[in-house]
Each structure stands twice: as C-alpha cells, then as structure tokens.
Amino acid sequence: MNVHDSEKMAGILSETGYMRTDVTNDADVIVLNTCSIRDKAEQKFYSELGRLNKIKKNRPNLKIAVAGCIAQQKGEILFNKFPYVDYVLGPNNIDSLQEWISSRAQNKEHRSQTTALQINPEYHTKTLPVRREGRVRAWVSIMYGCDNYCAYCVVPYTRGRERSRSSHDIKTELIKLAKDGFKEVTFLGQNVNSYGKNLLEDSSFSSLLKALHEVDGIDRIRFVTSHPKDLSEKLIKTMKELPKVCNHIHLPLQAGSDKVLSLMNRKYIFGEYMEKVTMLKQAIPDIAITSDIIVGFPGEDDADFNMTINALDEIQYDGIFAFKYSKRPDTKALDLPDHINESTKSARLKKVLKLQEEITFGKNKRLEGKVLKVLVEGPSNSDKSRLTGRTGNNKIVNFYGDEKDIGQFVNINILQARQHSLFGEKV
Ligand code: 5AD
Ligand code: SF4
C-alpha cells in the first residue's frame, strides 16, 4: 500500500514537471513516505531524516516533505524536532502535494512549514496520477482506511475510517492500464472483503470482481488483504468461477490461540479460520495461501505460542510474513498486561521462521520437474541477466529469456527450487 502511495506521489511530481533522480544530492524536492506499522520502520525514517539534514545544510533550497503514517501521527511535532522539514502530509492528503509544489513553482508567498493532515472525506473519490514501477503489474487502490481496530494496529488511526472507491472509477483506471499494456492488477485495501460498505451503489467485493473481470487486456487479477472474518463462501465461489482471478489468497492468521486472537480483537477463533481454509482448499485445490503472524503479543504464553506453531504445521502456508509484536502509539494493546520480553519474542520469531522456511522450501521442491505458466515481469533484481516472473499462485520464477518475453505468458520447466523462488528454463 505504501509503495503504491509512493507511486502516486511520484505521479503528481512528474505531472508538475519534476524529473526523478536516483542521486539524492541532485534533488530539489525530496518526499519521504513513512510507515509506522512497527517501531523498526519508524526508527529507519528518523535515521534517513538525519542524513537528509546533512544534505540540506549544503543546499538550503532543498525542500523536504514527510508523508505517510508517521507524518499523520506526529504532525506539527515533526517541525519542532526537525526544523529543516518543510511540509508534512498524511496518507489521505497525497493530492495536496500538487498544490504545495505548484505554489513553490510559481514563487507564490509560500509559508514554509505547512501541514496537510485533515483526513479528507473526499479523498477516495479522486483518481490521482500514478508513476508505476514496471509495465506488467500494477497496484490499484479499491478502498482506503480500516474499521477493524485490531488491538496492535495503528492503521485505523493513521489512515482513517474505511471508504471504498466507486466501481466506475476503478474500472476506468483498469481500462487505461490495459491500454497502457499492463496485464496484471493487484487490488489494494486493508480489508478488501468488506469492499462497498460505504457506497450507495449495490456493490460487494464479489460483484466488483465480476465487473472488473470483463476488462479486456487485463489477464490476471490479485487482491490484498483479506480479513478472515469477512471472507465469504460467495467470494470463494467467485474466485473459483473467474479464470482471471489468481489462485492465491493472503489471509493473515496473526496467532493460533483463541485467547490471543480475542486479545487482538481479530473477531474470529482458530476453528472458524480453519473452516475457511478448508473451504478454500476444497474449492480451489491448487490455491496458495499466505499469512501474517505476530509473535509475542501481550499475554501470549508458551502454550499459546505452541498453538501458532501447530497452526503453521497444520495449514502448510506457501509463505508467511512474521513479526515480533511492536508497541504502537494509541493502540489498545499498549494497556494490556503481561507484555513479553524482547528475548522471548526473538526466540519465538526464530522458531516460526525456521518452521515456515522448511514448509516453503518443501513446497517449492515439489514443483521441480513441473511446467508452470509464468507472466514475465522484467529483469531479475538479483541477476540482471535473468528474467523474473510469477505463477498464478504467486511463486517467483527466474529463467534466462529474451527481452521480448517481458509482458508475455511463458511456460517454464522448473529445474531448481530455492528458498524464496524457483529457477527454470523456457519450454
Ligand atoms: N506489531 C507487529 N506486527 C504488526 N502488524 C501490524 N501491527 C503490528 C504491530 N504493532 C503486522 C500484522 C499485519 C501486518 C501488515 O503487519 O501482522 O497483518
Ligand atoms: Fe490493522 Fe487489523 Fe485493519 Fe489490518 S484489519 S489494517 S491489522 S486494524
């Protein structure tokens, strides 16, 4: 989501006449897009800001804007601590960059140190220019904000209440993407399964998928993230019926213990989660399921943690993102008793990652010798002489190919499984 927000900011800057540079020292304007989901991300931002301060000392005309969730939470306080910051804008005010940039360009009276932090209730009705990375896959926002208030999570406080974009606006964006040659889209929302709740039009996520499935030229549809409590039988049926919808779902479990799930305010118990996993696997046998896991949530004892380990064993995810619980401002979990010490959290994280690595590698290994259909995205980041792409169920596949394969579907014979990717040859 943050990456796509950055693409929107880059889109606005491009439309206003700015050119991208990879050399920080050459920049006239720097926008730092921040994340406050965990403390680590926040610390990374402060050290980056310190680095920019040094650059600005030699180049006083450099303008620095801070965007994203830290900007939303800290607001004007950032100016006190970091007087060299010029502009602070929240994740629902990305459009305001345009005005800030234009007033600078026209040399209008430009009060230095301004903010745009009001959560704009109209933000979801705007289609912003986007400067996308790549030319095969595109992110598309379908909704903003979140109403779920999971006890550990800062998102409802920084991104505001849940609001859906109209299906008409989303479809218009998709038609343009298809015209520009994009083949795959990923719909973005904190909880895509509750799409449409605030809209006057009669729309559910299933009906949105059906409407967008008609767009010619878009061959693959993905979406993130699904909240397990809102994953319906109807949506599973729609996924099964619509051939363009990829056989992959990211369905964050967070924890295996009902006690911890309740403390987290996740609104489901493990048994209900498993029912949905069973339904998914029955409807779509080759579906890949991935998840997010938090270890060391307040109150998680050894028995609770073992339930997470057992859950990973039972579900056999294709991959997970696992995190140590991190204290976040404003969130309910701060007030819970029995916070877990850092070394226990680290040990638990290590155990989770080790188990999942074995499961993921085992699953990848079973794909050796199979021929998989891959949509080719471009040169691989780790080795520019190779191309990289993805299968429908989101496995990364690297192979030696031609420039003309980019944007095409190719069949790849898998020769070797790696931990996070597969290597193969074109057939
Ligand atoms: N600590 C650790 N992980 C968190 N996440 C969200 N908030 C926190 C936190 N305070 C994780 C959840 C979520 C993912 C995007 O980030 O697992 O699904
Ligand atoms: Fe955060 Fe929960 Fe909303 Fe996801 S569903 S963004 S974890 S509050």
CATH of residue 209: 3.30.750.210
**pLDDT class of 203 with cuts at 50, 70, 90:** confident
Give me ligand 2 centre to Cα 252, in Å.
Answer: 10
Asked whether residue 74 falls in the same domain as residue 166, the answer is: no
Residue 150 in contact with ligand 2 by CB distance below 6 A: yes
Please tell me whether residues 83 and 34 are part of one structural domain: yes
Residue owning the nearest CA to atom 13 of ligand 1: 292
Q: Give the CATH number for residue 411.
A: 2.40.50.140
Query: Which residue segment(s) compose the domain that 397 sits in?
Result: 371-426
Is the CB–ligand 1 distance for residue 37 below 6 Å? yes
Same domain? 7 vs 85: yes
Confidence band, pLDDT 50/70/90 cuts, at residue 113: confident
d(C-alpha 403, C-alpha 104), whole Å: 41
Whether pLDDT at 50 is above 70: yes
pLDDT at residue 107 greater than cutoff 60:
no
H/E element, 175: helix 167-179
Residue 126 lies in a domain: no
> What confidence score (pLDDT) does residue 231 get?
96
What is residue 105's predicted lDDT score, i.e. its pLDDT? 56
For 87-104, letters b (16+ CB in 10 Å) and e give bbbbbbbbbbbbebbeeb
Q: How confident is the model at residue 275, as a pLDDT?
A: 98
Domain count, the chain: 4
pLDDT of residue 255: 98
Tokens 């406050």, located at residue: 36
> At which residue do the structure tokens 């420039």 appear?
403
What distance lies between CA 179 and its chain's CA centroid? 25
Least confident of 106-110, 193-197, 223-227: 106-110
Atom of ligand 2 nearest to the CA of 266: 2
At residue 102, the pLDDT reads 81
On the question of pLDDT at 75 being above 70, the answer is yes
Residue with tokens 């809102």: 230
Diameter over CA atoms, the chain: 66
Give the pLDDT confidence score for residue 106 in this predicted structure.
55
Q: Could you list the beta-strand ranges (E) of 264-386.
A: 288-295, 319-324, 371-379
**Of the residues 365, 383, 407, the one at which a domain ends:** 365
**Cβ pair 415, 368 in contact under 8 A:** yes
Ligand 1 close to Cβ of residue 38 (< 6 A): yes
Residue 315's H or E segment, with its range, is: helix 302-315
**What value does the mean pLDDT take over residues 329-346?**
98
Q: Categorize the per-residue pLDDT at 312 as very low, low, confident or very high, splitting at 50, 70 and 90.
A: very high
pLDDT tops 90 at residue 305? yes
Q: 114-118, 243-247, 287-291: which range is least confident on average? A: 114-118
Please choose from 2, 36, 191 the residue to mutate so as to test ligand 2's pocket, defined by most ligand atoms within 8 A of CB: 191
227 lies in the same domain as 282:
no
Q: What average pLDDT score do residues 390-419 get?
A: 97
Give dist(CA 199, CA 201) in Å, integer: 5
Residues 384 and 357 in one domain: no
316: in domain: yes
The answer to whether residue 410 is domain-embedded is: yes
Q: Is 122 part of a structural domain of the chain?
A: no
CATH value at residue 331: 3.30.750.200
**Strands 396-399, 422-426: parallel, antiparallel or unpaired by DSSP?**
parallel
Contact 254, 294 (CB under 8 A): yes
Residue whose CA lies nearest to ligand 1 atom number 18: 292
Place of tokens 């290590």: 350
pLDDT in tens, 82-97: 999 999 999 999 999 9
- Is the domain of 380 the same as that of 354? no
Q: Last residue of some domain: 246, 263, 282?
A: 246
287 CB near ligand 1 (under 6 Å):
no
Report pLDDT for 349.
Answer: 98
Kind of pairing, strands 248-250 and 371-379?
unpaired
Q: Where in 35-183 does DSSP place strands (E)?
A: 63-68, 87-89, 114-116, 137-141, 143-144, 163-164
What distance in Å separates the CA atoms of residue 143 and residue 109, rounded to the nearest whole number?
A: 35
Question: Rounded to whole angstroms, how far apart are CA atoms 31 and 343?
Answer: 36
**Quick one: 241 and 270 in the same domain?**
no
The answer to the question of residue 287 being in a domain is yes
What is the SS3 assignment for 177? helix
Which ligand has its closest atom nearest to the C-alpha of 253? Answer: 1
350-371 mean pLDDT: 98
Ligand 2 touching residue 333 (CB < 6 A): no
Closest Cα partner for 229 from 166, 271, 197, 176? Answer: 271
The answer to whether position 128 is within a domain reads no
90 with 185, same domain?
no
Does residue 232 share a domain with residue 147? yes
Residue 111 has pLDDT above 60, yes or no: no
Taking the alpha carbons at both ends of the chain, their separation in whole angstroms is: 35
Mutate to test the pocket of ligand 2, among 154, 155, 192 (most ligand atoms within 8 A of CB): 155
3-state secondary structure 192-255: HHHCCCCCCCCCCHHHHHHHHHCCCCCCEEEEECCCHHHCCHHHHHHHHHCCCECCEEECCCEC
Residues 19-38 have pLDDT tens digits of 999 999 999 999 999 999 99
Residue 419 and residue 388 in one domain: yes
Q: Residue range 374-385: average pLDDT?
A: 94
Q: How confident is the model at residue 202 (pLDDT cuts 50, 70, 90)?
A: confident
| Domain annotation covers residue 60 | yes
> Among 1-5, 218-222, 349-353, 409-413, whose mean pLDDT is lowest?
1-5
Domain boundary residue, one of 246, 269, 302: 246
Residues 336, 386, single domain; the answer is no
Same domain, 353 and 304: yes
pLDDT, mean of residues 333-351 = 98
On whether residue 152 sits in a domain, the answer given is: yes
Question: Sorting pLDDT into bands at 50, 70 and 90, what band is 122?
Answer: confident
Structure tokens at 108: 């209008």
> In this predicted model, what pLDDT tens digit does every residue of 224-266 receive, in sequence order?
999 999 999 999 999 999 999 999 999 999 999 999 999 999 9
What DSSP element (H or E) covers 417?
A: strand 409-417
- For 78, the enclosing helix (H) or strand (E) is helix 77-81
- Contacts for 209 with CB less than 8 Å, ≥ 6 apart: 221, 223, 235, 238, 239, 242, 245
270 lines ligand 1 (CB under 6 A): no
Question: For the chain, what percent of residues have pLDDT higher than 90?
Answer: 91
